[in-house]
Structure 1
Amino acid sequence: MRGRARGSVGWRFALAVLERRRGVTVLQTVALAVGLMALLLLGMTRNDLVDSWRNATPADAPNRFIINIQPDQREPLRAMLATNGIRDLLYPMVRGRLTHIDDRPIQASTYPDGRARNLVEREFNLSYTDRLPEGNEVIAGRWTGDAGGASVEEGIAKTLHIKLGDTLRFDVAGQTVEAPVTSLRKLDWGSMRVNFFVILPTDKMQGLPETYITAFHLPPAKSALGNRLTASFPNITVVNTDLILRQIQAVLDQVIAAVEFLFVFTLLAGVTVLYAALSGARDERKRDAGLLKALGASAATVRQTQYAEFLVVGGLAGLLASLGAIAVGWALSQFVFDFPYRFNVWIVPVGVVSGMLCAFAGGWLGLREVLRQPALATLRDVQ
């Protein structure tokens, strides 16, 4: 009972000290929380984002893309894929530049947004089909297929201010192709399937220069098929997205490791700020400790008061850091990477414990002399 009462007295004294030094407490907590949040965001939330990124793509998603397939190669290539157990669609692709929306000429200067300017300065990959492609969802208007209407992806429609009923005009190898917008589509970009921003009616695309593109999943056991395809069709390009993603991940890991190394210094800076703040108030803390001892408080009670203060500051900093890391990670997944965020239940306890350890280390370094000095010597020094 005596130990429990002594512990509660130490916590009450610690909370009273934090209340009295409110400004310093806020400075210590924020400085430690900023550095710790950066480390938590990269160390733990980074893994959650990467896992969410990987889970957003199905296990059997296409990992090979073939482009520049000529019309006369379409059937031979399809037959070669079929003999290897791969049955996938080959989509026609026509290159065209958007020149008008209704009667308005389209130029880069028309749009203030950089992405919109880039889109209108280059050619679009156009396609045609009478059926709504797999993974496409009509969210506005009506899919008309070959009935004369164009279908536009919702994102590019928003960027270029394209609405239902607008007439799009494209320049394809010197020929004009135009069609009214009859539907807007939402695409599942995470599926890794072949997708097109604009799908036009078949009758509008006849006689235009076209190539074909396809995407399929190639198991590791059949990876040699890519070499056989390029040997049989030298003009085609086989893109191995597995290799590209692995290289991107390796580069990201190296960059993140370097940034984490820098953020360790940010955390050390927070601990240093805590140490400096405690050192600046060392004389005042010596007087408080001396008075407590002179009034009958044991050395253990004074020590518990100091330790409780460190734990409160560190725990609060760790809580703020973990909540901040969760918020930033969620915002990145929703508004930057556009995939569901997987919450890591360990980030809050790890953040709180890490904050307590950092605060305890900085506090012990700054106030270890206060705990060692006898009460009489302390009161004599501060007079």
Structure 2
Amino acid sequence: MWAKLALKLFSREFKRGELTVISAAIALAVLTVLTLSMVTDRIGQSIEEKSSAFIAADRVLASNHVLPAEFLDKANQDNLRTAKITYFDTMLFAGDEMQLGSVKAVSNTYPLKGELKVKTSLTGQPEVTTEIPSRGEVWLSESVFYALNIKVGDKVELGAATFTASHIVAEEPDAPFNVFSSSQRILINEADIAVTEVIQPGSRVFYRQLYAGDKNNLDAFYAWLKPQMKENQNWYGVKDRQSPISNSLNRAESYLLLAGLLGIILAAVAIAVSAKRYCERQYDPVAMMKTLGGSRAMIRKIYLLHLSLVCSLSVIVGLLIGYGLQAIATDYLAQTMGSVLPSASAKPWIIAISTGVICAVMFSIKPLLDLFDIPPLRVLRRNLGDRLLVSKVHLAMSALTVFLLMWLFSNNIKISAILFLSTAFLIAVLFGLSKVIFGGGRKLGLSPGNSWSLAIASIQKRANVNAVQLISFALAIKLLLFLIVLKNDMISDWQSQLPENAPNSFLVNITEQELEPITSFLAQNDMPTSDFYPVVRGRVNAVNGELVAREVSQEDNEKKDEEARSGIGRELNLTWRKDLPNQNELIDGAWFSENSVAEASVEESMLERLDVKIGDTLTFLIGAQSFDAKITSVRKVNWTTLKPNFFIILSPDVLASFPATYISSVNVKEEKKREFNELMRQYPTVNVIDVESFIKQIRSTIEQVSLAIGFVLAIVVACGALVLISQVQASLGERMQEIVILRTLGAKGRLIKNATLYEFLLLGVTAGLVAAIVSDIALLIVQKQMFDLAGKFHPHIWVIGPAVGGLFVACLGYLMIARTMRKNTQGLLRSLA
């Protein structure tokens, strides 16, 4: 019997719209989480897949010694595509000319990701190829042709073998982005390694195995591989590399994760407010049922069934709408990105359903318990039950629910904890501030018949309700400002790193005699350059007189001296200059002065690696000569700028007597390519590293990331707007009663309308101001901690926050109750009944 009554009551309430608010809130939570999760999941997979071209694979296994063939066999069994690369340096000969180059021997399946582009003549255009050099062929970078003074089709000697230089390597997907690495690229077939006879015991050789395939297969393979890896082997993906693209991807991933977490907070607030409002509107029906003999158990069953039906229907609607939204969004994004986005995993569906069910249950427990306790006498005394106490246990459980949902969504307890605690602190501050603001309003001189006076009086009367509304408004505005400003700062930072006139080539190995004519040539041909840095190769040999550990060879079974101090097992590129480079920031100590003698400035990560501090003395070894330099400053270096950067910079007096070569970066416009090639012909010993294709890939990826971020931001903005709507709807019933009373007392319609508008305006301005200040403080912390951006204040949002908050809340609130105010008094009384 109770089930039939429950269904009949559910149908009646559904038709009357009593369930609209809570149903919409639950559906909102589900569709928000599903859309955000699926969009970020699919876009993240797409961007990572495209960015994998930077390493020519999904994952790479790097080693300083030969890798077992069984690794590749196992990977093939796990349905992974594989390839092999072997790197070594050697001399290349053509007649009387010779050139040191970096050999890259590849297997037939190279590259697994990305495109290899070649030219068939020095003046030809790059073309994509799916081939690799045939046996007996060698493909060379353009600078090698100039250095050896040969043309396509000529013979060259590499080790003990003779090869035909059949193609020019224009672009490699995994070309090393290291301005100090050799630009003299030599590509051969791995089957030709043996005939060169270059690799001998003790040769310096590097090995790579490339893997590509499904993420689950890659994870399973790595689980098998990890126990067998040696200490000097490294497994990495594109996001693990220290490069502009990996930094961009990691930042974007953090932003999308942050947006999703904030979206969950907003959805949870909407459900909590809606559940409370729905239960409050059921006080009278429950009191009536109890008066007519309805038992507590029967009422409990009726409303638990209502909750189950509402939850089920809302989750289904949310899933359908969410899936439709993400389909529309990802189709548009796929067309913009020029690729088909991968399918989403099952995780977004699980998270979305869990979010809807958990929020509906947890945020409805306390309001439902209050509903069951409504006394029958309420049919006579309508105010009974209106002042039920807030349960601290329920608040704690609700807070724990939000935290668990954030943790479930992010799978990162640290980020979840930071955001949760900062939001909880914000709510506490806002609640206390609202009490002060609304309480202080009582001291204002109010005049009867004034719209402002009526608005302030209304705020005072609903102090507790308005405190909750203020918190909700401020929280929504704060999160929106937070995401919008962070997005703009991130994109501005990316664009500042790669402006239109960013250097697209590096000139390396310029001698002292070549410096002046090359500088003049570039200036005459309108090719802007960065500073020219002198470079000397040297090793940190000791710290404060204590020798550092040297590099050992695992292949030769050398043992590391465990008692030696930690150091750098390779030579560093050292430079000297009077002025601090503009892409460097001095974070400790003082820069060199005119009287500096034997001083050194160390980059912050190198400071930690060497375990040194300002005042320590470093001993350098260059060839057979050693010298000391005292650390006087620490620098933070922006490695993402396309300019030369150094771990250690010395004062000019230290290295001035050492022979050095110079390095610089230059911007070569397309119409200046011919003149630039002429420079390469005139100075064949100068290494030219073209990073144009690298810059294009980075810009393309950043555009895709920015587009994804913009769409996710739009979803969160919509979510924030719906939270504001749910808050306004929560007070509609009480506002209708006030309108009836004011009209009965003779108040004019214009007075009531203006008072309502001013009330929302005051709430919006206050919420916007608090939100802007708190948002800016939070941004200052998050930018440094999560995104490695220069933290800064944004004074403009302190104006934009109150202005937009006041305008938005006022317009939204007024529009929502405009229909109510258009009703006559009799119509309002019927609605209240």
Task: Classify 1:260/1:179 alpha carbon distance in 2 versus 1 (closer, same or farther; 3 Å).
Answer: same
Name 2:247's counterpart in structure 1. Answer: none
| Secondary structure of the structure 2 residue equivalent to 1:152 | strand
> 1:354-380: per-residue Cα shift (whole Å, max 9, x none)?
323432454245434432333344345
Task: Classify 1:141/1:231 alpha carbon distance in 2 versus 1 (closer, same or farther; 3 Å).
Answer: closer
Alpha-carbon shift at residue 292 of structure 1 (Å): 1.8
Name 2:452's counterpart in structure 1. Answer: 8
Name 1:297's counterpart in structure 2. Answer: 747
Mapped to 2, the partners of 1:286 and 1:359 lie a distance apart of: 19
Mapped to 2, the partners of 1:321 and 1:237 lie a distance apart of: 54
1:198 and 2:640 matched: no
Task: Classify 1:350/1:166 alpha carbon distance in 2 versus 1 (closer, same or farther; 3 Å).
Answer: closer
> 1:151-197: per-residue Cα shift (whole Å, max 9, x none)?
1336356534423553435677xx67754332424669689875533
Task: Classify 1:176/1:260 alpha carbon distance in 2 versus 1 (closer, same or farther; 3 Å).
Answer: farther
1:233-272 equivalences under 5 Å are: 233=683, 236-239=686-689, 248=698, 251-272=701-722
Instruction: Note if contact 1:143-1:183 (Cα within 8 Å) is conserved in structure 2.
Output: no
Alpha-carbon shift at residue 265 of structure 1 (Å): 1.9
Task: Classify 1:121/1:41 alpha carbon distance in 2 versus 1 (closer, same or farther; 3 Å).
Answer: farther
Task: Classify 1:223/1:7 alpha carbon distance in 2 versus 1 (closer, same or farther; 3 Å).
Answer: farther
| Secondary structure of the structure 1 residue equivalent to 2:688 | strand
Task: Classify 1:203/1:251 alpha carbon distance in 2 versus 1 (closer, same or farther; 3 Å).
Answer: closer
Name 2:507's counterpart in structure 1. Answer: 66
Name 2:543's counterpart in structure 1. Answer: 101
TM-score (norm 1): 0.68
Mapped to 2, the partners of 1:133 and 1:244 lie a distance apart of: 31
Alpha-carbon shift at residue 353 of structure 1 (Å): 3.3
| One-letter code aligned to 2:743 | K
Match of residue 134, structure 1, among 576, 579, 590? 579
Mapped to 2, the partners of 1:382 and 1:238 lie a distance apart of: 80
Alpha-carbon shift at residue 259 of structure 1 (Å): 1.4
1:184 and 2:632 matched: yes
Mapped to 1, the partners of 2:778 and 2:676 lie a distance apart of: 40
Task: Classify 1:260/1:309 alpha carbon distance in 2 versus 1 (closer, same or farther; 3 Å).
Answer: farther
Name 2:601's counterpart in structure 1. Answer: 152
| Secondary structure of the structure 2 residue equivalent to 1:125 | strand
Task: Classify 1:258/1:379 alpha carbon distance in 2 versus 1 (closer, same or farther; 3 Å).
Answer: same
Mapped to 2, the partners of 1:142 and 1:248 lie a distance apart of: 38
Alpha-carbon shift at residue 100 of structure 1 (Å): 4.5
Mapped to 2, the partners of 1:382 and 1:332 lie a distance apart of: 47
Name 2:764's counterpart in structure 1. Answer: 314
Match of residue 731, structure 2, among 281, 284, 298? 281
| One-letter code aligned to 2:507 | I
Unpaired runs of 5+ in structure 2?
A: 1-447, 552-565
Alpha-carbon shift at residue 325 of structure 1 (Å): 5.2
Aligned length: 352
Alpha-carbon shift at residue 92 of structure 1 (Å): 2.4
Match of residue 513, structure 2, among 65, 69, 75? 75
Match of residue 351, structure 1, among 788, 801, 815? 801
1:29 and 2:473 matched: yes
Instruction: Note if contact 1:141-1:164 (Cα within 8 Å) is conserved in structure 2.
Output: no
Larger Rg: 2
Which structure exhibits the higher relative contact order, with contacts defined as CA atoms closer than 8 Å and separated by 6 or more residues? 1
Unpaired runs of 5+ in structure 1?
A: 109-116
Task: Classify 1:306/1:45 alpha carbon distance in 2 versus 1 (closer, same or farther; 3 Å).
Answer: farther
| Secondary structure of the structure 1 residue equivalent to 2:520 | helix
Task: Classify 1:333/1:284 alpha carbon distance in 2 versus 1 (closer, same or farther; 3 Å).
Answer: closer
> 1:126-173: per-residue Cα shift (whole Å, max 9, x none)?
23x5xx43336981787887x7x451336356534423553435677x
Alpha-carbon shift at residue 37 of structure 1 (Å): 0.7
Moved more, 363-372 or 24-33: 363-372
Mapped to 2, the partners of 1:293 and 1:169 lie a distance apart of: 89
TM-score (norm 2): 0.35
* Seq. identity, %: 19
| One-letter code aligned to 1:166 | D
Task: Classify 1:83/1:287 alpha carbon distance in 2 versus 1 (closer, same or farther; 3 Å).
Answer: closer
Name 1:111's counterpart in structure 2. Answer: none
